[in-house]
Amino acid sequence: MRAAALASRFSLVGLARAEALDAGPLRAWLDAGYAADMSWMGERMDERLDPRNVLPGAKTVVALAIGYRRSEDERSSIARYARGRDYHYAHRDRMKVLRKKMLAFAPGIETYACVDTGVAMEKVWAARSGLGWIGKNGMLINGAYGSWLTLSVMFLDREVDAYDEPGVDRCGACELCLRACPTKAFPTPGVVDARKCLAYQSIENEGVVPEGLRRAFRGRIFGCDVCQDVCPFNRANVDVPEGDARFAPRPLAARTPAEIAALPDEELSREAAGMALARQVPGGLRRNALYAIGAARDRDARPVVERLVEDDDVAVRDAAQWALSRIR
């Protein structure tokens, strides 16, 4: 199983028994309102918390990870994971290969695969399968790869010869990530309040971002890497192998917020095709670019901002008006 996963070009693989997860942490997170408007996190709870309710007869959870760290120090307003090819495609392609390999030596095996668009709790299963531990920034951290990993899982209706032990927390007394967060989105270590998180606000929130959070968009228009950038496990691991060449940054990742705000819809959509940030094109990405312009008080971008204060998109129009007030 492990050899097949590695041969399918996954960076890491871990195995855990398919058992029910503790519902406490998820329910507490939802009850506190930390999910913001992601109501789907509270749906299908029986399936979300127990693989056997997704795949009848499930015996094993295979946790899979692909590293995406690159050695070059790229300057970009886009989070590292989203600068190249959409990781969803990479995981799905490789899981198809893995499933074919499993069928070859276990005909009739039943599987369920998920890359964070289904009901599986990938991060929890990755920690339970020994791929790492969930750090104080809420990210899965691996001793060798740091947190520069994208995750997926596969449920199997077969047992394997040996299962992995859960990852051991190695954060210790370090709180660099908690102190570095520009919006103080961690109410307690390991717990993220999506309402304050720039990753949520720049990707999941399709409306107007609360004004109190907009200044934190300086230099950021899609996602946020601050809590990862300061993590010792990320800063020290300079020898981590680079990801697939298809994860290399694409031209859009090098554009400034002003350039992105000025791109016509068709060109913006064309450049974002095949990238994770395509889901926010064109309105969401343009809105975020305007927040970044306003946060930086970029006076050179004034012409494009003035053009967008009458945009048809309510969120874009609001962002442009805010940016213009900052520039003035």
Cα gap 312→273, rounded to integer Å: 23
Cα gap 273→250, rounded to integer Å: 10
Which residue(s) pair with 111 in the sheet? 156
Report residue 133 as tokens.
């531990």
Report residue 105 as tokens.
């030596």
Cα gap 211→228, rounded to integer Å: 25
**Catalytic pick among 116, 169, 244, 313:** 116
Mark whether 300 is an active-site residue.
no
User: Which residues are annotated as catalytic?
Assistant: 116
